Amino acid sequence: MNNDNTVSIMPGRSRAPADAASLPAPGAIAHCRTVCATCELRELCLPCCGLTRAEMEIAERMVFTRLRVRRGDRLYRAGSRFTSLYAVRNGSFKSMATLDNGREQVTGFSMTGEVLGLDGIGPGQHACDAAALEDSDVCVIPFGGLQEVAHEIPALQQHFRKMMSREIVRQHGMMLQLGSMTAEERVAMFLLDLSRRFAARGYSASEFNLRMKREEIASYLGLKLETISRTFSRFQEQGLIVVQQKLIRIRNSLGLLQVMGREAD
């Protein structure tokens, strides 16, 4: 009854395996830096944040596995045990929760360079499903190992905490806002949030492809798909954006910001 989409494990690893070098060779570090360059985890990636030689040796314990997830497959499901974090190396995901009453809701989108699975840290199990919006690659970060390493490197611990709480605050704040926003405000916020996140990862802030369907945006924003479509059209008439199917061009980001902020009573 459930189309059990299992993900396939890629043989490759992002770093040299343990048997190759017991000491960190300069080359290995360079390699890791390259790999992590476009990754939000670079703050966490040990060789990349000014650690001592001794700390780097500790960091050697961490080995990342690559995982390929096909469009529609799930990286994890709600209720499953939390074991790892996932860095999206390529592709994008949606997180979705099934509410008590059986309704499903999209709770977030994760794009290339972002980290997935933080929701499971506290409770020890995932609160939602994570499904790939397109064929994607992720870097599996076993949480046990991460914690072990972080325990011995306080600076890392702190980085980690900060990243986690920042994410929670962002999500929390967003959901809060939604309650009191009109459809136009929500859509404007959504577009600006995406724009900002693309820019932060080195992509264009003014032109990007939506990886998700109108219906998924609607679910995320607490609206109906027709409303998303109409709002996009209205924004286009107003010269704020240009919409071509999934391609969005932001023409007047200040205007979008004003849409978000107006009628603040």
Partner DNA sequence: CGGAACTTTGACACATATCAAAGTGTGTGG
Partner DNA sequence: CCACACACTTTGATATGTGTCAAAGTTCCG
115 strand-pairing partners: 87
Please report the beta strands in the chain, taking only residues with DSSP state E, as ranges in sequence order.
8-13, 65-69, 74-76, 84-90, 92-98, 104-111, 115-116, 129-132, 136-142, 207-209, 241-244, 247-250
- Sheet with 241-244: strands ordered across: 207-209, 247-250, 241-244
**Which of DNA, a copy of itself, none has residue 175 at its interface (CB below 5 to 8 Å by kind)?**
a copy of itself
**Least CB distance from residue 222 to DNA, whole Å?**
6
- Count of residues in contact with DNA, rule CB under 7 A: 20
- Give the span between the Cα atoms of 40 and 19, in whole angstroms: 28
**Least CB distance from residue 66 to a copy of itself, whole Å?**
29
Among 56, 62, 178, 225, binds a copy of itself (CB under 8 A): 178
**Which of a copy of itself, DNA, none has residue 168 at its interface (CB below 5 to 8 Å by kind)?**
a copy of itself
Binding range to a copy of itself, per CB under 8 A, among 16-24, 40-48, 173-181, 199-207: 173-181
CA neighbor of 243 nearest in space, from 209, 218, 199: 209
110 strand-pairing partners: 93
- Give the span between the Cα atoms of 76 and 96, in whole angstroms: 11
Q: Is 170 in the site for a copy of itself (CB under 8 A)?
A: no
**Least CB distance from residue 247 to DNA, whole Å?**
9
Among 116, 227, 256, 259, binds DNA (CB under 7 A): 227
- Give the span between the Cα atoms of 40 and 163, in whole angstroms: 9
List contacts with DNA (CB under 7 A): 182-184, 213-215, 222-230, 232-233, 243, 245-246
List contacts with a copy of itself (CB under 8 A): 97, 99-103, 105, 107, 122-124, 127, 161, 164-166, 168-169, 171-173, 175-180, 222, 260-261, 264-265
